[in-house]
A and B are shown apart, each in its own frame.
Chain A
Amino acid sequence: MIPKRTGNALRLALLIALPALASAGWKGVSAGEVELSATADASEVALDGTLTLRIAVTYASKADTGNLEVPTFADFDVVSRSQSEQVTFTLSNSTPSFRRTVITSLALTPRRAGDLTIEPVKLEFHGQRFQTEPIKVRVVPAGQALRRRPPGPDRLGDDRMGDSLDPFADVHPGQRDLILRAAVDNERPFVGQQVTYSLYLLARTNVSSIEKLQIPRLDGFWSEDVEAPQQLVPEQRILDGVPYTAYLLRRRALFPLRPGRAAIEPAEVQVLTGFGMLFSRESSRRSSQALQLEVQPLPPGRPAGFDFGNVGQWTLSASAEPSNVPVGQPITFRLVASGRGNVRDLRLPRLPVLSGVRAYDATVSDKETIERGQINGTRTVEQLLVPERTGAVEIPSLAMDIFDPVQKQYRTVRTDPIALRVDAGPVGQPAAEPISQNLLAKGGIRPIRLHLGSVQRATPLWAQPWFWPALGLPPFGLALLLGVARLRRMLQVDPGRKRMELARSAAAKRLRRARTLLQRGESVAFYAEIVRAVTGYLADKQGIAAAGLTRDELVSALLARGQPEEPVRRLVRILDDCDRARFAPGSGESPAREAVLGRADQVLGELDRGTR
């Protein structure tokens, strides 16, 4: 098996090449001086496809290099060739050592279909010759699907991505110069299992910088950055026979929160291409493709009490220090869960109540690390235990049910029981806490009650719907009483006052009746009616009973009430004229009677105005 061409190819290539060289009989090769390897990124390629041959030569010396002989490639055309160099310096046991690795990458296209061979690569170094094994490649007709090499732990020069899918396997760039490519390493994860989301930029032109990188909203996932490069690191790729430079822009770990279909929207990026200030720079915007994930629910058969956050490859361990203490001295109990998965969602078992031991509140601390693109975590629960009596105490085994998404099964991880020994405190020396011999700690659930009491659960008085409106009744009642009293006062009328108010109208009424009598020719009755009108008015309005008074007394009474003298005199004259006419009939003619009527009405009017 030939490892796939990767960024960590050197290490892998060495692993592969050394046994190969050994088997080829190159016993004289010293791994400490020079190492040679050649790997291809595919064991099968289409006639219209390309494969990459990676030749790595590692020297122990920093100065000298050997003479590398690249094969003539009888069955292949060389499309492109690039070379890079890495120098590492290590200090081991105070001895510095250099390692210099020259990597030559060749993009090859086959000339014909069939089983072809890439000839061995040769190297001459300090008079010694080294050679790799020939590499067999199967070339299928153009257009047929390729069988890529089995997945390695890494790709694109990154050894942290433990995915199993080539992010560029289905990329066919066509004529495009810039492609933004999103990829996930697992399209069917379980709920709570990590999926690594990677975003690459593939460029056929020079990329100056990246601006405005917009990562999609990752609804339905708990996510965390795995890698966010600050600088663009190029990596060469051949896509459909065309060399591209791939840049990793972002890598995030996603933990699906619920089962079902989950969509990741396209990412967007603004790319500046060109060469610095001297050459034209162009800004281009690119979007990646959307991704669809099918998040699987956890399989059936989960243990009772299983917590859905406990998905991952976890181990559980417990410790207690010191294991031998005097009574009253604290013991630190630590429960540690570590492994691969989302530590923030992890639910650890709880320490049960230990007889004779007082347990304080636990503190929880989480630590996350990223290894090979995977989120690893450690949750540590620390709890202070204070033994309150002497003797042996055992912290029992604690168990936690987990779901391992790699093995696709539920497992139970356990701690070992921990035996503690509690001795009596030193004589004459009090324990750290003097009351520890009989620690009456606050807290805990109280004992139950033994006598049943009864409480009224009915609606309270003030919650009755009528309560608050009923409070309005007293003020309403008082207002009603006040209103009624006022009405009654208004309805009470004085008869004398009423007569006084109606005196003028009563007199006018009588004068109208006198006119009727005058028209009938009943002169005696006419004058009598005028006299009644005048005397009635005087009685009602002025309160003077004219019938019992002499004319002088009448005049005096009216003047005493503030009436002007002239109307009073005329009134007396009218009364005299009427008496004369009544008791000496025929002395008055009709026009004179009419005048008397007019005078009476006028005088009464003047007196009425004088009274007001």
Chain B
Amino acid sequence: MILLLAALLATAEPAGAQLFADANAAYLSGDVSRAIAAYEALVSEGVGSTELETNLGAAYLRQGKRGLAVLHFERALFLQPGDDDASADLVEVRRGNVDRLEGDADEGGAETVARLLTPLPGTAAAAILTVLWPAAWILFGLRLLRGGPRWAGIAAAGCFGGALLFALLTWSAAAGRDMAMRRGVVVAQAVPAREGPAEKSVSRFEVHEGTTVRIDDEEPGFRRVKLANGLTGWVPSGTVELVVPPGWAGRPVLTGSARAVQP
């Protein structure tokens, strides 16, 4: 009975599989607009899938919306950091980016560090840490309080060592996630970055769609973005989309958060 139940669960299709298949069919037949509408419907239903985000990115790219394409490839990589298709597609799209950054990478290449840290198995490391850490203290307590056997001391030392290692892994994954949570993508074709969060502020430079930025600060209607070379400016909120949207990975859902509209 249990085996039968397990087999049924294994063969069960995830929610939205039919709509996903319809969207794929539309994409393959060249009806990219319909494909995008179906993919977006799945996203709005809360389906979180690397495949969905990768396909959506490819569809936007076929429509020439490079910013949204980069955004969805980035989201696919957030969900599945090592995903090969999303990585390759992202590299391909970025080749055509208008913005070429000059100057040294900021903060010792924070973007590179984030990309290295994000694929770390943080969840598994955290689970192991939650086992090893209490075990280490229990064994240590036994040895300390009751003069327990000598192996208890050795085992406690081993558990402490393992816990330290997995704590490092977990912390690194947390740091990578924190950086990913602040990453954004320019989705407007071109947007002036200003010195302050107001339309009347002086424009210091212009960023173009597809450029990945770090979101440092937010004011009503504006976001302060930082490029990988340290260049910083304020841009309208709607022109930069968060890679990790509200509702994902513990980010609070904001009411009235509208998607950026391509000009």
Residues of A within 8 A of B (CB): 219, 257-258, 308, 361, 443-446, 448-463, 467, 470-471, 473-475, 477-478, 481-482, 485
Contact = CB atoms under 8 A, between A and B. Distances in A.
Contacts of A308: 190
27 contacts: A257-B203, A446-B58, A446-B89, A448-B27, A448-B28, A448-B54, A449-B54, A452-B16, A452-B47, A453-B50, A454-B14, A455-B48, A455-B49, A455-B79, A456-B48, A457-B79, A461-B123, A462-B123, A462-B125, A462-B174, A467-B126, A470-B130, A471-B130, A477-B141, A478-B137, A478-B140, A478-B144
Contacts of B203: 257-258
A22 B146 CA distance: 128
Nearest to B79: A455
Interface centre among A444, A454, A470 (most CB of B within 10 A): A454
Nearest to B76: A455
Contacts of A462: 122-123, 125-126, 170, 173-174
Contacts of B145: 481-482, 485
Contacts of B51: 449, 451-453
B138 interface: yes
Contact of A474 (B16, B88, B136): B136
A307 to B, nearest CB: 9
Nearest to B42: A452
5 cross-chain pairs, A with B, having the tightest CB-CB distances, nearest first = A459-B250, A474-B137, A462-B126, A457-B48, A449-B51
B174 A455 contact: no
B134 A455 contact: no
Interface of B: 13-17, 20-21, 24, 27-28, 47-52, 54-55, 58-59, 61-62, 79-80, 85, 88-89, 92-93, 95, 122-123, 125-127, 129-130, 133-134, 136-138, 140-141, 144-145, 167, 170, 173-174, 177, 190, 202-203, 247-250
A441 to B, nearest CB: 12
Nearest to A465: B250
A318 B54 CA distance: 36
A481 B144 CA distance: 11
Contact of B92 (A444, A450, A471, A474): A444
B249 A452 contact: no
A450 B21 CA distance: 7
B249 A463 contact: yes
A256 B138 CA distance: 73
Given A453-B14, A457-B249, A445 B61 contact: yes
Contact of A481 (B13, B136, B141): B141
Contacts of A461: 123, 126-127, 130
A443 B24 CA distance: 22
B248 A457 contact: yes
A494 to B, nearest CB: 23
Contacts of B248: 457
Contact of B20 (A257, A452, A481): A452
A448 B58 contact: yes
Contacts of B14: 452-454
Contacts of B173: 460, 462
Given A446-B88, A453-B51, A457-B48, A471 B20 contact: no
A427 B77 CA distance: 49
Contacts of A458: 249-250
Given A448-B58, A454-B48, 10 more contacts: A257-B203, A446-B85, A446-B88, A446-B89, A449-B85, A461-B123, A461-B126, A462-B123, A471-B133, A478-B141
A48 B214 CA distance: 68
Contact of A455 (B50, B127, B133): B50
B61 to A, nearest CB: 6
B136 A463 contact: no
Nearest to A461: B126
A459 B249 contact: yes
A219 B55 CA distance: 44
B120 to A, nearest CB: 11
Nearest to B181: A463
Contacts of A448: 24, 27-28, 54-55, 58-59
Contact of A452 (B17, B95, B141): B17
Nearest to A448: B55
Contacts of A258: 203
A489 to B, nearest CB: 12
B127 to A, nearest CB: 6
A453 B49 contact: yes
B250 A463 contact: yes
A322 to B, nearest CB: 28
Contacts of A475: 137
Contacts of B170: 462
Given A448-B58, A449-B85, A457-B48, A443 B92 contact: yes
Contacts of B48: 454-457
Contacts of B141: 477-478, 481
A555 B181 CA distance: 89
A450 B23 CA distance: 10
Nearest to B174: A462
Nearest to B23: A448
A463 B244 CA distance: 14
Contacts of A485: 145
Nearest to B59: A448
Contacts of A459: 249-250
Contacts of A471: 129-130, 133, 167
B65 to A, nearest CB: 13
B164 to A, nearest CB: 12
Nearest to A455: B79
A219 B126 CA distance: 54
Contacts of B21: 450
Contacts of A219: 202
Contacts of A452: 13-14, 16-17, 20, 47, 49, 51-52
Contacts of B177: 460, 463
Nearest to B85: A446
Contacts of B174: 462-463
Nearest to A457: B48
Nearest to B55: A448
A445 B123 contact: no
B162 to A, nearest CB: 14
B29 to A, nearest CB: 12
Nearest to A472: B133
B262 to A, nearest CB: 12
Contacts of B47: 452, 454
A474 B132 CA distance: 11
Contacts of A474: 133-134, 136-138
A480 to B, nearest CB: 10
Contacts of A453: 14, 49-51
B143 to A, nearest CB: 11
A457 B79 CA distance: 7
B193 to A, nearest CB: 13
B223 to A, nearest CB: 21
A348 to B, nearest CB: 12
A462 B51 CA distance: 25
Nearest to A471: B133
Contacts of B133: 471, 474
A143 B200 CA distance: 44
A470 B130 CA distance: 9
Nearest to B206: A257
Interface centre among A361, A455, A473 (most CB of B within 10 A): A455
A473 B177 CA distance: 25
B71 to A, nearest CB: 15
